[in-house]
Structure 1
Amino acid sequence: MKKFFWFYLVIILFFPCSDSRASEQLMIASGAGYKALVADIADACGRDYDLNIQVSYGNFGQMLAQIQKTGRIQAVISSDDFFTDHHVQVSEMYPIGTGTLVLAWRKGLDLSQPHDILKSEVQRLAIPHTKKALYGRAGWHFLQSEHLDDAVKKKLYIVSTVPQVTAYLVAGEVDAGFVNLTDVQKVKDRIGGYIQIHSGYQPIHIVSGILKGQTELKGLSLFRQCLHSSKIKNIVRQHGL
């Protein structure tokens, strides 16, 4: 009996029962700072349009590697300049929302304006990769526009992605950091606070781009419909875009 039990357990774990209607498959690459947003979009499209969306998250460099090396990515959710800067060809592009740079800080610290990063209490200032990460670039441009870049160079702690900055803030391992409004909202009760920054960097237009040569897939047709739905628009607003 034990042999039969383990045999059937393996069958259940590795060969789950399939629905009579197979879900359409879709592979997406997205910026790591929008993981919460894209996960909610994927869930909604799965429920309402029977789409099985798999998502690969990362910074610009990691997304580009996924597109070029795997050949399996059909759509990308990122800023519009990701496509132009990296010569990623798309056949269609749909606007999702406008991103906002945020300066956040750990619990126990109280900042009232971005220039407070010059205070002695801020000894470690985290920022995503200043060339490969969307909000790392925005944060660096802001520092340059405010002539703060030289003053904080010794404080900077560079990581790969926005979620890494957020995690360090929650853990109290850095004093402040640049993230986006979408990612910081999920931890606002576990950090000291944050300030939205609306100037000093190029406007951030978040879009969904359908990669060239992928437009005939049925899953993408359903994805288009899902993106234009009122439910997705509500989800986007809830995530601060």
Structure 2
Amino acid sequence: MRLANSRAVFTALLFTLSSPLQAGEVQVAVAANFTAPMQAIAQAFERHSGHQVVAAYGATGQLYAQMQHGAPFDLFLSADASTPAKLEAQGQGVRGSRFTYAIGRLVLWSATPGYLDGSDAVLKANQFRYLAIADPKTAPYGLAATQVLAQLGLTEAVQNKLVTGQSIGKALHFVASGNAELGFVAMSQVYQDGQLKSGSAWVVPAALHAPIKQDAVLLEKGADNPAAAAFLTFLQGEQATKIIQSYGYSR
């Protein structure tokens, strides 16, 4: 009994102390659309806490598959709400830890300035060779892109022009490299502080697709990790919120 009590006290102390003397590491699986804000948040968190963040980026479905094969993640920042809920139901996510950290926006983007005029005109004209999207089976932003095409009545018209990337990061690469004239990407990839960083774009009206609600969840591996608990708290705080909003997300 004394040994059990001592271990309980020691665990409690780990959670309450967060100075560099108790610095730890948190491994985070992050949806590819959130790469840029996550990098900024991780830097701010490391300065604040002394803990180190090790992030792995990819499509939500790919990251989920890695978890089923034993990937050692403490936290999961998904691009949807359903995958974290499924992990929680399966006992792989800690109940009560799940929350919405961001609501994403979809953008049609071209690396060429002036190619898009801020509307869907180029998409409807259908004079391009290739349109990049993320895989709708594994990437929520890819699913949202197919919903937009369906709403606009363009699914069949562009079917043979689609270039599909495993993640939204790959879809961005197809367009940035010139392999596709345009593509559906996350706003966070091409905008910052409300300004388009390069190229030209059409910000897709939110009414054209289901809300891209992005949830985070603490995984069972991270349940006793003070660095993971500290990062979850930081992610919900004011400093992280400002970073998230600067990339075009809402909460």
Q: TM-score range by the shorter chain?
A: 0.7 to 0.9
What is the deviation of 1:117?
1.0
Tell me whether 1:90 sits opposite 2:114 in the alignment: no
Q: Give the alignment of 1:204-223 within 5 angstroms.
A: 204-212=212-220, 214-223=222-231
- Worse-superposed segment, 118-127 or 135-144: 118-127
Q: Which amino acid aligns with 1:151?
A: A
Letter in 2 for 1:34: F
Q: Quick one: which of 144, 147, 166 aligns to 2:150?
A: 144
1:36 paired residue number: 36
Q: Which moved more, 1:128-137 or 1:204-213?
A: 204-213
Cα offset for 1:60?
A: 2.3
Deviations 1:60-116 (A, max 9, x none): 232013212234111101121222467654221132121111111231523442253
Are residues 1:175 and 2:181 paired? Answer: yes
Q: 1:32-51: per-residue Cα shift (whole Å, max 9, x none)?
A: 11111111111111110112
Alignment of 1:177-216 (within 5 A): 177-185=183-191, 188-212=196-220, 214-216=222-224
Percentage of pairs with the same residue: 21
CA shift in 2, pair 1:217/1:181, >3 Å: same
Q: 2:136 aligned with 1:135, yes or no?
A: no
| Deviates most, 146-155 or 86-95 | 86-95
Deviates more, 1:86-95 or 1:68-77: 86-95
Q: Which segment is superposed worse, 119-128 or 211-220?
A: 211-220
Q: CA deviation at 1:162?
A: 1.4
Deviates more, 1:113-122 or 1:52-61: 113-122
Root-mean-square deviation over aligned CA pairs: 2.3
Following TM superposition, the consecutive aligned residue runs of length 4 or more in structure 1 with deviations greater than 6 angstroms are none
- 1:4 corresponding residue in structure 2: none
Measure, in 1, the Cα distance between the counterparts of 2:118 and 2:236: 38
- Unaligned stretches of 5+ in structure 2? 1-19
| Aligned counterpart, 1:21 | 21
Paired position in structure 1 for 2:54: 54
**87-96 or 147-156, which deviates more:** 87-96
- Cα deviation for residue 224 of structure 1 reads 2.7
d(CA) in 2 for partners of 1:189, 1:39? 17
Query: Which residue type is aligned with residue 93 of structure 2?
Result: V
Q: Distance in 1 between matches of 2:101 and 2:85?
A: 17
Structure 1 range deviating more: 79-88 or 153-162: 79-88
- Tell me if 1:118 matches 2:119: no
Q: Which residue of 2 aligns with 1:238?
A: 246
Q: Specify whether residues 111 and 155 from structure 1 end up closer, same or farther in structure 2 by C-alpha distance, changes over 3 A only.
A: farther
Q: Per the alignment, in what secondary structure is the counterpart of residue 143 of structure 2?
A: helix
**What amino acid is aligned across from residue 101 of structure 1 in structure 2?**
L
Distance 1:118 1:106 in 2: 18
Q: Specify the alignment match of 2:10 in structure 1.
A: none
Partners of 2:32 and 2:59 within 8 A in 1: yes
For residues 122-150 of structure 1, give each alpha carbon's deviation from its aligned partner in whole angstroms, at most 9, with x where no partner exists. Answer: 22111111211111011011211222101
AA at the equivalent of 2:248:
G
How many residues align structurally? 223
Alignment check: 8 A CA contact 2:64 2:83 kept: no
